[in-house]
Amino acid sequence: MEETSARRQHAVEFTYEWYEGFLNRLRSSGYEFGSIATPPTEGEVILRHDVDLSPSAALRMGCVEADHDVRSAYFFLLGSPLYNPLNEACREVIGELESLGHAVGLHFSTHQYWSGATRPGDEAVAERVREEQSVLATLAEAPLSPVSFHVPPDWVLGESFDGLTSTYEPAYFETPTYAADSGQRWRSAPPLADGDTAAAQVLVHPGLWGETDASFRSRVESAVTEACVSLGQWAVDQYLEEGDG
**In the chain, domain spans:** 2-217
Q: Is 18 exposed, middle or buried (0-12, 13-18, 19+ CB in 10 A)?
A: middle
Exposure letters 79-91 (e unless 16+ CB within 10 A, then b): ebebbbbeeeebb
pLDDT digits (tens, 9 = 90+) for 75-125: 999 999 999 999 999 999 999 999 999 999 999 999 999 998 899 999 999
* Residue 1 banded pLDDT, cuts 50, 70, 90: very low
Q: How many helices (H) and strands (E) does the chain have?
A: 7, 7
Q: Which residues make beta-bridge pairs with 202?
A: 47, 179
- The listed CATH number (3.40.1080.10, 3.40.50.670, 3.20.20.370, 2.60.40.10) that belongs to domain 2-217: 3.20.20.370
pLDDT digits (tens, 9 = 90+) for 157-214: 999 999 999 999 999 999 999 999 999 999 988 899 888 999 999 999 999 999 999 9
Nearest to residue 219, comparing CAs of 82, 24, 64? 82
pLDDT digits (tens, 9 = 90+) for 26-62: 999 999 999 999 999 999 999 999 999 999 999 999 9
Nearest to residue 186, comparing CAs of 4, 1, 7, 31? 7
Question: Model pTM?
Answer: 0.93
pLDDT at 2: 47
Identify the H or E element spanning 21: helix 16-28
